[in-house]
Structure 1
Amino acid sequence: MSEYIWDQQIDYLQNTRWLYYNDDYLKFLVRDVWHIDRPVKLVDFGCGFGYLGLKLLPLLPVGSSYTGLEKGTELIKRAEDIFTNLPYDVEFINCDIETIEIESQYDIALSHAFLLHMTDPQLILQKMIDSVCDKGRIICFEPHWIGNASNFAMHGVDQSSVLRLGVLQKLYEQDAGRSGKNGNIGMLLPILFSQLGLKNVECRVSDRVNFLDQNMDEGKKDVLFRSLREEGFGYSPEDSDESILRLVGRGLSVEEAREQIAAERRFAAEFTEQTWLTYAPNMKITSGTRQ
């Protein structure tokens, strides 16, 4: 078993990515926003199981190719298995993206929920820029966690009783300051793109709103509920000294930590398969071109 953490999260990745986008919206981005009307060479930084390749290749002009860069050996194996019988020109490279050097040979460099896990995201962004030709495009799909956290509603439940936005904002900011890994990077990317010299910078948001409808088909409801659970809805932390100490270590007071754990446990108790819920992840989609 690989020790790389994301090699142990493949099922989670496959079960939750669909919560972000409707296919017609991705088609709109490809054709009407990015105006991709000729075959292109894509490189995906932190490709995982090849999710972006699976979504974008069917929408791109015939002759396009996709290269996935990924540290996880098990993720690479899953990606190769998925694409084995698909009619696309793909390559997967098992590598350490923080150290790999890539020549300027691609038309588009991509990332999906990857930069937030990097201790030096500007370094990775520069590698992405260096990997594309002149006029090449950088496209990053990255989250803004504090926005995601507020972007849901549960019938009959006051959001403030189960989700403490001020405390979460404090945790996210202090975690980013301590480790460099920033779950709110999605909203920073337009600024970073421009600061790194990219032009034509623009940012959009993902379109999908997930509705756990008590009148929907039971099979579809079960799939949606389980995916939302895996995405983190209804996670119940242990009410223990260890949990409190972990939050204190991240910058909360003991009282704040206890209140946070109590709120998360209330959320877990309220969120069941019988809950009426809407949730929009609002992934930020930033693009810019190299001049």
Structure 2
Amino acid sequence: MNYAIGVDIGGTKVAVAAVNEQGTIISRSVIPTNLDIAPEAMIAEIQQEIRRIIERSGVHMDQVVGIGIGAPGPLDSKNGLISCPPNLPAWVDIPIRDLIGRVFPVPVLLENDANAAALAEKWIGAATETDNFIYITVSTGIGAGIISEGQLLKGMKGNAGDIGHAVIDPSFGECVCGQSGCLESIASGTAIAKRASAIVGREVTAKDVFHLYKEGHPDITAYMKDVFNVLGVASVSMINTFDPEKIVFVGGVSEFGEPMFESIQQYVRRYALNPTGRKTEIAAAKLGQNAGVIGAAALCFHNGSFQ
């Protein structure tokens, strides 16, 4: 049996797992992302955690076919660089592939975290029977992984799918990127918490908004209908552009459940350009927090292709 090590790097935590060739996690751990130390020092901690996972899982190094890394963009996956992710402000042009590769005698692959998670859902998740789908994560930020004809769509540097900064409605005001009305500035968990706080007159989190919605708070219910509509707009834009069979949503916002999915589905049925596009399935992801490490491992087994 062969294994791969999946590493999922985020702004607050790093998950590391040993994954077999069926996509089963053998051993998994999570360590905090320390933003107070140099990136190279944090990578040294990741290296140590990889060693621990290999030892804990009982996997011999000669059974490890590679180490896959999923990280937030922007990055340069072809050259193995983490370029300048907003959630990792000190990580500018960090050669993580080479730094990890110096320690472990196996191939090391780097991919955008949303792309890696899309691979996981294609491999063993919500899109195993689908060669054309879009994975959309709606959490602190918004991003997408695009699978077309069984192949991961990467772009020039590996940053394709950064839909969070597609302009949807300039009237919503300025986004952190400098544009006005980006999808992320309207429908991300961060944006929802900010606008909902103004609506209810006190500071609330995205999780608080979820509870207020479930309780039937009238102003929050009306507001979230607008958010669902915006996600419908984004979905139709992706359908018209990429012609997928399915769109898979994941992230904290997907906790709103059936009302959100049905609202997006209705918008798609009404506004997608092509008759087949109007039938695009809107679905929930299956792998949750494990998608990142499983998808990173999938890079070593599938390298972005399921053909």
**Normalized against structure 2, the TM-score is what?**
0.26
**Normalized against structure 1, the TM-score is what?**
0.27
